[in-house]
Structure 1
Amino acid sequence: MPEPELIASCWTTAGDAAPQRGDETSPFALLDRIRAAGAAGWSGFGLVHADLKTALTTLDYADIRGALDDAGLRYLELEFLGDWWTDGDRRVVSDAMRGELFEAARALSPLHIKCAGDFSGGVVDDELLVREFRKLAEEAADAGTRLALEALPMTNFSTIEAGQRFLSEVAHPAAGLCIDIWHVYRGGTPIDELTGFVDPATLFAVELNDARAAQPADLWIDTVDERMLPGEGEWDVAGFINVIRGLGFDGPWGVEILSAAHRSRRLDEALDAARSATLGEFARADEALRG
């Protein structure tokens, strides 16, 4: 089979940076990360809002787009929008990010913008969520992109099935799912059950990584500090790849490595290790298909 096209997620290239640290900015300059990803053979690149804002203090969109093109990175994804249904101060912050991400989408033509639900554990009105996400999807379409909802187990969309049900209610062509293998296993969904409820038309993004089989005591520590390269953990990554292929999806595939070990690596080492490990799992997936 042809070699898969792989997107290095924002955290895969970020070095010593992680979600919700307060400052999510990578210590590596954006253009250095883009060039390194291209040199390592990746097909796409992920960019978090914090790094976008920092980069735009010294670069313009043409600089970023030109660097991506020069590096041979055909795909771009942006992240990470939350609080899109809220009001008050949370909504003010979210709307500012929303505007900046859509401005970037118009200039950079990303595949999608990744979004999530509520991390607070509070009760949110379902009709409000549907109405606000549909409105967000309309704005995304106007900006020439789509929304990829992450159904994280520590949010109100705690399983992939819950995320799919929500998107069925939203019913907008620019609203779809990002299925991260971490969300599947930590959400308690057997991989072979995905074909029973995932709508291929809404499957916008897929992300690969690995981890220990045992459910962790703290999901946040697990997702930020303890993920592994594909094939290093105890999940059936190759089996997951083939289940997703069975849904009609064949890339580009995201590779999202978040771990203390990965953050300690040099940028070139991190990119080579993540890509090599992922290609190894695709080789195993191909072998399984050949029987």
Structure 2
Amino acid sequence: MDTEDLLATCWTTAGDTAPDLDDKRSPLNLRERVEAAGAAGFKGFGLLYSDLVEAEREYGLAGVRTLFEDNGLVHIELELLTDWWADGPRRSASDAVRQDLLRAAEALGARHLKIGPDVDDQPWDLDVWAGEFAALAAQADGVGARLGIEFLPWSNIKTVHDGLRLVETAGHPAGGLIIDVWHTERAHTPPAELAKVPGSRIVGVELDDADSDAVGTLFEDTVRRRRLCGEGSFDLPGIIAALRTAGWHGPWGVEILSEAHRVLPVREAAEAAYRTAAALLR
């Protein structure tokens, strides 16, 4: 299997929806999205939990897996679990999502599960979080998947260094980081720092681009104004070289989130995302 495969993360093929909407479900049928990703050349596919629920209702998990296999999509990413550190009603709701994601990961042969930090940036206890992360990583491992946390510069886990501190404290080999280059760039992390991340702690990488200056809040900028790879200000060749030095060779996620991208026909959107990212990996 080609280690330089590309994975279309959930938003890249989701069409006219976004993380800042109350209803984040894609308006597109999963078959349309999967066929568009496969036709573009992607070998991996990401699915948001709310879309997973719809897909299971329409196809059953066995049918979803067949759909992926028929279109050459072998690297499957499921997201996004939040509140895994919480208690009370928030934790109860999170645990219900957790069980669904773990069940689906096993049925679909998912490569990894993606989880998020606290976007409200509340005070947190490293040891408590590490314990929760280790327990969740063990559950992911139990269904044949890895667990990756995506750090966000506006959250309690702002940088690759913060994320690494969490996963190293947790210590479970199935746990690691999702490194989205948008977040490393907006956190002003130089590529040389990425080269130092232990390869065993990189669960996923997401490629994208952006203008040099953020417009609005970081959250607004990241969901509305990302650019296709090579069409913004990021030193993507340097970042890719650094991540390869760290030991990463794919699958490379491509996460394009923008007002311009999501109104394109899905086949056009997937093709543009694939073509511009693949050009950087040659």
TM-score, shorter chain, exceeding 0.5: yes
In the other structure, the counterpart of 1:288 is none
In the other structure, the counterpart of 2:233 is 234
In the other structure, the counterpart of 1:272 is 271
Output the CA distance in 2 between the equivalents of 1:57 and 1:70: 19
In the other structure, the counterpart of 2:89 is 89
Measure how far apart 1:223 and its partner are: 0.8
Output the CA distance in 1 between the equivalents of 2:221 and 2:193: 23
Q: Gaps (5+ residues) in structure 1?
A: 284-291
**Contact 2:127–2:169 under 8 Å retained in 1:** no
State whether structure 2 residue 25 is matched by structure 1 residue 46.
no
- Relative to 1, partners in 2 of residues 1:115 and 1:32: Cα closer, same or farther, differing over 3 Å? same
Output the CA distance in 2 between the equivalents of 1:84 and 1:234: 34
State whether structure 2 residue 219 is matched by structure 1 residue 220.
yes
Query: What TM-score comes out, normalization by structure 2 length?
Result: 0.97
Measure how far apart 1:199 and its partner are: 1.3
In the other structure, the counterpart of 1:99 is 99
Query: What TM-score comes out, normalization by structure 1 length?
Result: 0.94
In the other structure, the counterpart of 1:36 is 36
1:185-217 deviation per Cα after TM superposition (whole angstroms, max 9, x unaligned): 011111112223x11111111110000122444
Q: Which amino acid aligns with 2:88?
A: G
Measure how far apart 1:270 and its partner are: 0.1
Alignment of 1:89-238 (within 5 A): 89-196=89-196, 198-238=197-237
Q: SS where residue 117 of structure 1 aligns?
A: coil
1:59-83 deviation per Cα after TM superposition (whole angstroms, max 9, x unaligned): 1111111111110111110000111
Output the CA distance in 2 between the equivalents of 1:3 and 1:86: 36
Q: Which amino acid aligns with 1:204?
A: V
Q: Gaps (5+ residues) in structure 2?
A: none
Output the CA distance in 2 between the equivalents of 1:220 and 1:64: 31
Q: Which amino acid aligns with 1:119?
A: V
In the other structure, the counterpart of 1:65 is 65
Measure how far apart 1:255 and its partner are: 0.1
1:169-197 deviation per Cα after TM superposition (whole angstroms, max 9, x unaligned): 0000110111110111011111112223x
When the two chains are superposed, the root-mean-square deviation of aligned CA atoms in Å is 1.3
1:132-176 deviation per Cα after TM superposition (whole angstroms, max 9, x unaligned): 111111111112111111011111110011101111100001101
The share of aligned pairs that are identical, in percent, is: 44
Q: Which amino acid aligns with 2:130?
A: V
